[in-house]
């Protein structure tokens, strides 16, 4: 009865009640055990095995358990001794963890105090994740998100930054938040020229993508006209070098711009900004917030009547100059594929424009 009352998860598996198996619950955690009693009158013959979790907790206590076994007169009494020993083990570990957490918190607060509270943006209730702010030479704010290890400062923290390149930190057991902050400042300063030229584009042109540019974004899709945009990919290490360019829009409007760009490549001047160089190569002034509204370039798809389809913009357009209606690539492909009169060759489908019935073609969208 004592076994059933104290250890309901452990049951005999034979009539002689010499073999027991099941689970012992300690501090709301179940541990698998198996017990064999070759001689029920002599507990010292007991054979005890358990799962790896309980083995870890009992590691190093074999001699103590054998001594306790000699003093016990029943199996229930012995199991209560095992349970008591494990409970003390778990309690000791918890106290060590709490002391460790307190030490980490105290050290962290000291590091923030030394760094300056004005640089701290936020910190979570567990004192594990914090955000630090830093302003560059032009007053732009940058955020360093830090997740500390429970073994701080012996183990390096994890960092998240909004910068175009990787942020690799140097860390040793004596490092602190001030040392980390100084490395962030150095990394941030190394991207200032890239941020300057991209910020000029963001301020003086209509950026179609990304919708909300961040410092880490190395590409921009810029409105050229109502039916054409240019997407540039900038090398953040050499931001004034000619970027990779890709035109999106109706062929009759794209071809002259592409020809102008190719014939003027020799005019690219790395001493000038991206905006000035792009306008020289294209032979036209790019629309700006000072001279136009973004709605002029955010033309809805002629099929789904939406501007943004998930992350896709209407980048396919009718080549007829009198039409020029834009479509999402996905919408146009599905529309043409449903028409009996359309035909497909490899990954391109040919058909009629949904608006003017002039010939139009579109490539099969790439599945993401």
- Based on the fold, state whether residues 197 and 128 are members of the same structural domain: no
Find the angle CA(217)-CA(218)-CA(223) to the nearest 5 degrees. 90
Ramachandran sector of residue 75 (left: φ over 0; alpha: ψ -120 to 50; beta: rest): alpha
- Indicate whether 87 belongs to any domain: yes
Tens of pLDDT, residues 44-103:
888 899 999 898 888 888 888 888 888 888 889 889 989 988 888 787 666 545 544 666
- Based on the fold, state whether residues 200 and 289 are members of the same structural domain: yes
- Based on the fold, state whether residues 215 and 268 are members of the same structural domain: yes
- Based on the fold, state whether residues 159 and 200 are members of the same structural domain: no
* Domain enclosing residue 173, as ranges: 117-189
Of 161, 189, 217, which marks where a domain is finished? 189
CATH number for position 229: 3.10.110.20
- Indicate whether 110 belongs to any domain: no
Q: Give the model's confidence band at 274: pLDDT under 50 very low, under 70 low, under 90 confident, else very high.
A: very high
CATH number for position 168: 3.10.110.10
- Based on the fold, state whether residues 284 and 304 are members of the same structural domain: no
Tens of pLDDT, residues 299-311:
788 889 888 888 7
Backbone angles phi, psi at 367, to 5 degrees: -75, 135
- Indicate whether 307 belongs to any domain: yes
Q: What is the mean pLDDT of residues 255-263?
A: 93
- Based on the fold, state whether residues 214 and 276 are members of the same structural domain: yes
Q: Tell me whether the omega of the peptide bond preceding residue 210 falls within 30 degrees of 0, making it cis.
A: yes
- Indicate whether 41 belongs to any domain: yes
- Based on the fold, state whether residues 178 and 241 are members of the same structural domain: no
- For the stretch 13-28, what's the b/e string if a residue is b when 16 or more beta carbons lie within 10 angstroms of its beta carbon? eeeeeeebebbbebee
pLDDT over 70, % of the chain: 95
Q: 114 burial class (0-12, 13-18, 19+ CB within 10 angstroms)? A: exposed
In this prediction, residue 226 carries a pLDDT of 77
Candidates 179, 115, 180; CA nearest to 145 is: 180
Q: What is the mean pLDDT of residues 126-145?
A: 92
Most confident range, picked from 3-12, 117-126, 277-286:
277-286
* Cα→Cα distances 225→204, 205, 247, 284, 299, Å: 15, 11, 11, 10, 11
- Based on the fold, state whether residues 211 and 177 are members of the same structural domain: no
Most confident range, picked from 189-203, 219-233, 283-297, 325-339:
189-203
Could you tell me the two tokens for 27? Answer: 């501090």
- Across the chain, what does the average pLDDT equal? 88
Of 173, 189, 205, which marks where a domain is finished? 189
- Based on the fold, state whether residues 181 and 198 are members of the same structural domain: no
Whether 43 contacts 72, CB under 8 Å: yes
In this prediction, residue 179 carries a pLDDT of 94
Find the angle CA(59)-CA(154)-CA(111) to the nearest 5 degrees. 135
Q: Give the model's confidence band at 368: pLDDT under 50 very low, under 70 low, under 90 confident, else very high.
A: low
Tens of pLDDT, residues 191-245:
999 999 999 999 999 998 898 999 999 999 999 987 788 999 999 999 999 999 9
Count structural domains, the chain.
4
The three-class DSSP label of residue 209 is: strand
């Amino acid at each position: 009865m004592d076994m059933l009352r104290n250890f309901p998860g452990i049951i005999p598996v034979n009539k002689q009640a010499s073999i027991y198996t099941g689970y012992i619950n300690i501090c709301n955690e179940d541990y698998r055990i198996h017990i064999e009693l070759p001689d029920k009158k002599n507990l010292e013959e007991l054979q005890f095995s358990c799962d790896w979790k309980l083995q870890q907790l009992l590691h190093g206590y074999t001699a103590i358990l054998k001594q306790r076994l000699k003093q016990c007169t029943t199996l229930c009494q012995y199991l209560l001794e095992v349970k008591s020993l494990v409970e003390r083990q778990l309690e000791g570990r918890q106290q060590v963890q709490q002391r460790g957490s307190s030490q980490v918190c105290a050290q962290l607060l000291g590091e923030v105090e030394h760094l300056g509270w004005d640089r701290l943006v936020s910190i979570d209730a567990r004192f594990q994740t914090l955000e630090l702010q830093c302003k560059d030479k032009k007053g732009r704010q940058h955020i360093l998100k830090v997740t500390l290890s429970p073994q701080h400062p012996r183990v390096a923290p994890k960092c998240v930054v909004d910068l175009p390149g990787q942020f690799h930190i140097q860390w040793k057991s004596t490092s602190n938040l001030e040392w980390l902050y100084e490395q962030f400042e150095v990394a941030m300063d190394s991207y200032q020229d890239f941020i300057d030229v991209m910020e000029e584009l963001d301020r003086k042109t209509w950026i179609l993508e990304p919708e909300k540019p961040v410092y880490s974004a190395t590409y921009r899709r810029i409105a050229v006209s109502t039916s054409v945009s240019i997407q540039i990919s900038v090398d953040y290490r050499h931001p004034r070098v000619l970027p990779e360019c890709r035109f999106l829009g109706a062929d009759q409007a794209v071809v002259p711009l592409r020809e102008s760009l190719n014939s003027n490549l020799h005019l690219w001047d790395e001493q000038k900004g991206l905006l000035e160089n792009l306008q020289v190569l294209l032979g036209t002034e790019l629309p700006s917030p000072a001279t136009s509204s973004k709605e002029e370039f955010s033309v809805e798809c002629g099929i789904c009547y939406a501007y943004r389809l998930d992350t896709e913009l209407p980048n396919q357009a009718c080549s007829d100059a009198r039409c020029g209606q834009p479509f999402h690539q996905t919408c146009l492909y599905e529309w043409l594929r449903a028409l009996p009169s359309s035909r497909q060759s490899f990954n391109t489908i040919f058909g009629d424009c949904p608006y003017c019935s002039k010939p139009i073609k579109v490539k099969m969208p790439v599945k993401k």
